[in-house]
Structure formats: C-alpha cells, structure tokens
Amino acid sequence: MRIGDEVVLECGIGTLGDIYPYLLDKARGKTVLNVGAAGNASVYLPDRPHLWLHTRLVDVAAAVVGLDIDPVETGIAAKHGVVIEHGNCEDARLDRTFDVVLMMEVIEHVDNLAAAIHNMLDHVAPGGELVLTTPNATHIGNVIDAFRRRPANVFWQHVTIFTPEHFQAFCDRHDLDLCEVKYFTFDATGGLSMRLKTALIRAFGALSPRLHSSFAVTIRKPG
C-alpha cells in the first residue's frame, strides 16, 4: 500500500531456513511451470539429479513444464531425457495455465520486468500463484561493501536488484495481491570458507531478516 510517497508491505515478512522445502510444498500435487528450469543442468546431470530443482519438482507435482532461455543448458537437459521448452519468459506463449508458476532467481535477469510478470501471470490459473525468488538489495554483504567503500558486487547477468517493497509497488500499480514475503540464505555449495560465509550471513539474518542474501515473494492471481 502507499502511505504518502512511500510503499508499505501489505503482508508480514518471514524467514526460511531452507527455501527448497517451501517451494516443494507449494508445488505438491499442483501443475507447475518452472521458469529458468534448465539452470545448473550441467552441474547436476547426469550424476546428481536428486539435487536439481526441476527433478525435485517433478517428484512432487502433478505435472511440471520447464521453460528456459538458455539453449546450452536446455540442450544438456535434453541429452539426459529432460525436455525443457526454450523461450523467454517475457513473451513465451505455452497456451495453457498452471496452479503455480515458479521463477527462481530469474527476475533479476530480465530486460522488461512488467512484461515478464504479466506474461507469467497469464500462465497462472485463477486462484493460482506466481512465486519469485531473487537476490536481496539489503543483503549484509551489500551493507558491508558500502561501509568499506567497495564497489557493488554485481553478477554480470543481473540487471536489477530488489527489495520486497518494489514488488509491493508493482502489485499496487497493477492491482495484484502480494500475499507472502520470505527471506532466506541459500545453503553453501563450496568449501569451508563458503560455509563460514553462509553461517555468518544467516547469523546476521537472525538479527534482522532484511540482511539475508535472498527473498521470495508470492503474487496470488484472483480466483
């Protein structure tokens, strides 16, 4: 909602120790469109499919369709028997709707935020949900870098960074319902230094959720 010239969240915020059970619970027994599905196919296939989000969604959902813009990762998935539609979430048309559309670590890559969200909402069934995760602008690492006068640490494929309030402002502008906000920090995937860094980020996140490295928002489509 708008108060004066500022945006205020209409829902409370929460935290998650692990994002994956949360996403799998949302997908359980539902039809799911997994946007960015081919991400890390080259990392997890063929030896570790049980760690790959797309495989885990297939295990719990009623049906899953994958969509990804990356032809290389999509091709790798296809070589291992996983068919993922090749297309851009800003303009892809799949001619069907889903109970849940998941965009995990995708929205920060897109050129046109409004086109991507509206197009994906067109693929959400009435009463369904669009679930997005993205890096957090107020992540403790960004705060520390600012105090140390260091340049921002920006991944070369990322063109935007958000707080939940940006999604609230978007929902207010387009008469959408932002119904959930959850902060979290991904598990470490590297060695000891990465595990220590992750533990430190989570410790700061326990002090203030807004210091976590990422967050998830859920936009519900009217039934």
Tokens 């319902």 identify what position?
A: 177
Contact yes or no for 183/16 (Cβ under 8 A) = yes
pLDDT tens, position by position, 23-72: 999 999 999 999 999 999 999 999 999 999 999 999 999 999 999 999 99
Q: Is the pLDDT of residue 190 over 90?
A: no
- What is the DSSP-derived secondary structure letter of residue 187? P
pLDDT tens, position by position, 140-151: 999 999 999 999
Q: Say what the pTM is.
A: 0.95
pLDDT tens, position by position, 15-24: 999 999 999 9
Which has more pLDDT, 122 or 191? 122
Tokens 């595990």 identify what position?
A: 195
CATH number of 2-220: 3.40.50.150
Q: ∠ CA(116), CA(120), CA(121), 5° rounding?
A: 115
pLDDT tens, position by position, 58-114: 999 999 999 999 999 999 999 999 999 999 999 999 999 999 999 999 999 999 999
Q: Is the pLDDT of residue 172 over 90?
A: yes
Is the preceding omega at residue 135 within 30 degrees of 0, hence cis?
Answer: no
What is the token pair recorded at 107? 């929205």
